[in-house]
Amino acid sequence: MGILLVPSLVTIFVITYVFYDEAHGPVLPILAAVLVILLALSVFLASNFDPKNAPWEALHRRWKLLVAAQGATSVCWMVMFPYLVTIADSLDITFLGIAGTAIYCSVLMAYRSSPGVGIFHIIGMSVGLALTTLAVAGLDGWPSLTLLASFGIVLIITLLNQERSFRQSVRSEFRRRQSEAMVRVLLDDYEEQSSDSLWMIGPNGNLRDVSERFAALIGIERDQLEGLSFLDLFKSGSGKDILAERIAKREPFRDLLVSLTIDSKLRYWRLSARAREGGNGMAGVARDVTGAREVEERVAFMAHYDSLTGLANRHLFNERLREKEREDASTVFDTALFYVDLDDFKAINDARGHMLGDTLLREVAARLEHEVRADDVVARLGGDEFAILIDTRCGDGLLLERAHRFLSVMRAPFTIDGQRYRLSASVGIARSLDGDCDAEELMRRADLALHAAKKKGRDNLALFDPSFDRASRERREIEMDLGEALNRGQMYLDYQPVADLKTGAITAYEALLRWRHPERGIVAPGDFLPVAEATGLILLFGDWVIHQALSDAARMPGDFRIAINLSPTQVKTPGLVSTVAQAIDRTNIAPERVELEITEHVLMDEGGKSLATLLALRDLGVKIAIDDFGTGFSSRSYLRRFPFDRIKIDRSFVTDVVQDIGSQAIVSSITRLADAFGVTVTAEGIESPDQLDMLRKLGADEAQGFLIARPSAAECLAVSASPAGGGEARLSDYLGAAFLDYRNKRQKILAAARKRTQEALRAP
């Protein structure tokens, strides 16, 4: 307020100086002194006016004194101007007009906080100046009086408007402060109830008014954070760059991800903020999302990587393959793709448990990664199937060499918990050279090559050849025709006899499913049975084989066994037991004549459903045989788990049994093992007398193979199985000296068989 009184003090000094000589007496000095005292008092009262800290009563008293001092000041001015006009000459009157106008208008500045005193001042000065005018000009000064009156009215209105605006601004400021206080309370409560922390920066980007929550979140004391650069808290990166840009442009942002280090640990925050009013910096919230970020990273990892092996999964593999295709679009797409599939891994997994299986898969993944370069892609596509993607323009020879390396590392024993395990794999190879195929075609070719490798047997590889396409088309055609083959009467059964090696008697016939295609002719079982298994048609065919085989056996004389092969899919089907029971009831065949053959894989399910099904079949009275014995992962354990009636030695051991000492040792151990469990042994795949003689020496009980007889229709068996004079058919009756010299006596054997058949037909 003091600066506003400077014009008044200057006016007092000038008036005193100008009129001091004309004023004869103490009136002017007294008025001047009183005005100075009153102005000084007003300044003192206004400067010590502290509404925040002083009591209300003291404030009220001080305000009343201030108003009184200002009112007295106005009275002094009102008296001074009429007095001075009485002693002024013509030049001094002009000066008085200027001084009076200045004091008259000073009300807008000096009395804006006290409008009542201001109105009093205007009225008083109007009266004083009116008296001054009348004293100088009399009634002829009415124009000046009119202007004075109108100007006074305008000043009063302006003062009132000014006072009203002042009150409104005070109320607005009061409400704003109330709102700020309420917001602060709410924000403090929000900080306590949520994971967010409030932060505020000034126009220079430095922190201000740091909250306790924010300080606790970052792990630094509040007073140390005050004034620090907000950007300096965060690590370099795209998030920090965006934050700096938004702060510089004072643009709002939401959920901006930034990273920082707190207590030597990497943390992630999400920031949201907007500019404060008046360009006074920015304010926002910070949320620690480290936990959520880690979850997001784990989810992203799981979406692109195999959780068991850490390799790329099928999704990421497809992305990488297509990325390579796009990258090479400007040049050529030169890539080799290897599909690696473990042989019979499911058998290991089911027999030894998933924990061991998972450990083996991790070891396999590590070995494959060790064989490739850092830029190559190794992926687990699912189960026991892996893919390896390599950028290369090398020839087929080097690709085959690389595939042999993959097979080699799979052959090396795996040692887990002190136990050694052996695996093998099949590898399919395809390549895109000079962009001759796209990514989709490359995968299709690799898949065809893998199927070709598996078709060769275990531990094999195949490089894609155009002939694989023809084989694939044939497979699809077989799949389409196979669905109608049974309804069209194209399926039939052949039977291959099984002979007792001691007596030569025919003890059993194995039912073998055949397909006579109207265009393809006889389709090999190896071509259509895998398709039937893959499409689920094996269940339909399996039920038909059971009913047809028992019907054929019921029509043929003799008490020989009828052997029927069951697929793993059939054994896992709940309706198998009822199907066998219905077939036995319908044909009225003795249950003990029915022999169901399964492979070792049937028992390799952890749930035990297959074992329960086999036990239910045994309860019907049928016999159970295990086929291809010795090729599985742990053949001996199955003899302990289930009381088999018969085991059949796989033909792979029979083929070289005459020359190979290892095969002889395996067959000998199998026969001894079977003897210990009281199980009959049948050797299959016998094609020479030497094999037959060796197997008999090694302890086999029965024989089956082309040497004994080729598979034939049931009608032929019904005739040949009825020897003259009754009794059972014997191998010696048909083969004579076949044990000694099959090739030289073949014609005589056939003639003898025809002769006995004719005698049987003539018998009464």
Residue 310 — pLDDT band, cuts 50, 70, 90?
Answer: very high
Residue 408, token pair as written in the block: 């080699």
Q: In the predicted model, what is the mean pLDDT of residues 30-40?
A: 81
Least confident piece of the model among 60-64, 551-555, 668-672: 60-64
Q: Which of 264, 330, 246, 259 is nearest to 297 (CA)?
A: 259
Judge whether residue 237 has pLDDT over 60. yes
**442 touches 337 (CB < 8 A):** yes
Q: In the predicted model, what is the mean pLDDT of residues 657-672?
A: 90
8-state DSSP, 606? T
Residue 577 — pLDDT band, cuts 50, 70, 90?
Answer: very high
Q: Which of 499, 622, 486 is nearest to 545 (CA)?
A: 486
Residue 760 — pLDDT band, cuts 50, 70, 90?
Answer: low
For residues 589 and 85, which has the higher predicted lDDT (pLDDT)?
589
Alpha helices in 199-344 (DSSP H): 212-218, 222-225, 238-249, 290-304, 314-327
Q: What is the pLDDT of residue 763?
A: 52
560 Rama class: left (phi>0) / alpha (psi -120 to 50) / beta: beta
At residue 489's C-alpha, the angle toward residues 484 and 495, to 5°, is 120
Judge whether residue 651 has pLDDT over 90. no
Max CA-CA distance within the chain?
184
pLDDT digits (tens, 9 = 90+) for 263-293: 888 999 999 998 887 677 898 889 888 888 8
**286 touches 230 (CB < 8 A):** no
Query: Given the DSSP bridges, would you call strands 506-517 and 561-565 parallel, antiparallel or unpaired?
Result: parallel
pLDDT digits (tens, 9 = 90+) for 325-367: 776 555 555 789 999 999 888 878 877 788 899 999 999 999 9
Measured distance CA(192)–CA(618) in Å, rounded = 71
Q: How distant, in Å, are the alpha carbons of 265, 288, 476 from that of 480?
A: 62, 60, 6
Hey, what long-range contacts does 399-405 have (CB within 8 A, 24 or more apart)? 399/336, 399/429, 399/431, 399/463, 400/429, 400/461, 400/463, 402/336, 402/338, 402/371, 403/338, 403/427, 403/429, 403/461, 403/463, 404/461, 405/371
The pTM for the full model equals 0.52
Residue 734 — pLDDT band, cuts 50, 70, 90?
Answer: very low
Mean pLDDT value across the chain:
81
Q: In the predicted model, what is the mean pLDDT of residues 488-495?
A: 93
Give the sheet arrangement for strand 377-382, strand by strand. 377-382, 385-391, 335-342, 425-432, 461-463
Measured distance CA(598)–CA(613) in Å, rounded = 12
Q: What is the pLDDT of residue 104?
A: 64
Measured distance CA(623)–CA(609) in Å, rounded = 18
Residue 56, number of CB atoms within 10 A of its CB? 8
Judge whether residue 716 has pLDDT over 80. no
**CB neighbours of 482 closer than 8 A, spacing ≥ 6?**
515, 528, 531, 532, 535, 537
Q: How distant, in Å, are the alpha carbons of 326, 381, 400 from that of 335?
A: 12, 18, 14
Least confident piece of the model among 75-84, 205-214, 240-249, 333-342: 75-84
Residue 649, number of CB atoms within 10 A of its CB? 28
Query: What element of type H or E holds 79?
Result: helix 56-85
pLDDT digits (tens, 9 = 90+) for 126-141: 777 777 777 766 777 6
Residue 219 — pLDDT band, cuts 50, 70, 90?
Answer: confident
For residues 605 and 418, which has the higher predicted lDDT (pLDDT)?
418
Percent of the chain clearing pLDDT 70 (strictly above): 81
Percent of the chain clearing pLDDT 90 (strictly above): 32
Q: What is the pLDDT of residue 386?
A: 97
Judge whether residue 725 has pLDDT over 50. no
For residues 410 and 610, which has the higher predicted lDDT (pLDDT)?
410
- Exposed/middle/buried for residue 145 (C-beta within 10 Å: 0-12, 13-18, 19+): middle
Q: Which of 199, 225, 193, 194 is nearest to 286 (CA)?
A: 199
Least confident piece of the model among 95-99, 314-318, 632-636: 632-636
Least confident piece of the model among 358-362, 600-604, 617-621: 600-604
Measured distance CA(516)–CA(215) in Å, rounded = 85
Query: Given the DSSP bridges, would you call strands 680-684 and 646-649 parallel, antiparallel or unpaired?
Result: parallel
Query: Given the DSSP bridges, would you call strands 561-565 and 594-598 parallel, antiparallel or unpaired?
Result: parallel
- 3-state class (DSSP) for residue 157: helix
Q: In the predicted model, what is the mean pLDDT of residues 651-661?
A: 89
**245 touches 169 (CB < 8 A):** no
The alpha carbon dihedral of 732, 737, 739, 741 has a sign of: negative
Residue 165 — pLDDT band, cuts 50, 70, 90?
Answer: confident
Q: What is the pLDDT of residue 585?
A: 95
**152 touches 123 (CB < 8 A):** yes
Q: What is the pLDDT of residue 733?
A: 44
Q: What is the pLDDT of residue 297?
A: 78
- 3-state class (DSSP) for residue 391: strand
Q: In the predicted model, what is the mean pLDDT of residues 526-538?
A: 87
Q: Which domains does the chain have, with CATH numbers?
A: 2-171 (no CATH), 194-296 (3.30.450.20), 305-464 (3.30.70.270), 485-723 (3.20.20.450)
pLDDT digits (tens, 9 = 90+) for 675-698: 888 899 999 999 999 999 999 999
Q: What is the pLDDT of residue 194?
A: 54
Residue 729 — pLDDT band, cuts 50, 70, 90?
Answer: very low
Residue 241, token pair as written in the block: 């760059």
Q: What is the pLDDT of residue 582?
A: 95
Measured distance CA(195)–CA(372) in Å, rounded = 47
Least confident piece of the model among 82-86, 238-242, 537-541, 685-689: 82-86
Q: What is the pLDDT of residue 408?
A: 94
